[in-house]
Amino acid sequence: MKSSPAASSGGRVTRATVARHAGVSTAVVSYVLNDGPRPVADSTRERVLRSIEVLGYRPDAVARALKTRRTQTIGLLVPDNSNPYFAELAKAIEDAAYERGYALLLGNSDNDRRREKLQLAALRDRQVDGLLVIGTSTEADLSDPRAGHTRVVLLDRAAGALPYPSVVVDNRRGAHEGVQHLIGHGHRRVLCVAGPSDVPASVDREDGWRSAMAEAGLITDRLVVRTGFSRWEGYAAARSVLARTRRPTAIFACSDLQGIGALRACEELGLNVPGDVAVLAFDGTQESEFTSPPLTVIQQDIQTIAETGVSVLLSADPPGQPAHVIAPCRLVIRRSCGC
């Protein structure tokens, strides 16, 4: 089919251009693009779609957004986009959004509350249809007088007193199960490399460690170190404790990155894993499979978190009592625990 003069001359292709090329009205073009509200004969629909393809027509997203008050985009704010867990979660959310016809805009707070607030404002200024937020702490400020009715769903970290739906894993139960597994190997001194005390997931994982130790009648004194969720901080925490005369025989790390840092500390101190020190971590990213030895982990179901988070965010349910969904996590046994 020969292209129209407007297309061949490089002029802007509009719905009117498509309508002239297909020999229909602009209303019919709109019905085809929007799949209604009026029916279009199959032969006419095919003619319009063929003209759209030939002319290279792309609907004006800005104009459509102004008319429908929907941009078909959602925002995601993470505390650290270099962390493999958040990177894998962002990829899964992007896939879930794409399957529903939405694009994803990503913001990174870098674990800084001021930056978090600015990033939230930037995403809202872009008129996203909803926000998925992993807050920096329990004191994260998600309020914004310009927010209007932008829907917010919290991921990874429970809502607490915040009036938003949330999708999280049962961090306490998962940590409890993992530490019980280490105790089952005969370990009586299990170090907890915990995260920051103002991050709910970290607090819950530490609580799970404490409850498992208490059930077994084991002491926890001087066996917890709180630090950031990074390789270097996990390395420094583990190395400082493992250098003691009476060192722990097992390490429960509250994140994969801390666990990977702990593995390096063991190697530098000449300690065999799992012969001298067993290591278990929480998250279960792909990176944990490729350490030496491979890490035993409490694995979060990233696909379920992503799918559920996007579904709750795009739900047409009227506002009311926020939904709080508990996503599954499971113990994945590899060599680092001694199995």
- Span 62-75, average pLDDT: 64
pLDDT at 92: 96
33-47, 128-142, 254-268: segment of lowest average pLDDT = 128-142
| Complete domains list, the chain, with CATH | 5-59 (1.10.260.40), 71-170+303-329 (3.40.50.2300), 171-300+331-337 (3.40.50.2300)
Amino acid identity, residue 175? A
Predicted TM-score (pTM) of the model is 0.78
Q: What is the pLDDT of residues 193-231, one digit of tens each?
A: 999 988 889 999 999 999 999 999 999 989 999 999 999
Residue 318 binned pLDDT confidence (cut-offs 50, 70, 90): low
Q: Rounded distance, CA 234 to CA 178, Å? A: 18
DSSP state of 246: S
Residue 5 has pLDDT above 50, yes or no: no
Which stretch, 64-73, 131-140, 198-207, 297-306, has highest mean pLDDT? 297-306
281: three-class secondary structure by DSSP: strand
DSSP state of 274: T
Q: Rounded distance, CA 226 to CA 239, Å? A: 13
Continuous H helices in the chain: 5-8, 15-22, 26-34, 42-55, 61-68, 84-99, 113-125, 171-184, 200-215, 231-242, 256-268, 302-313
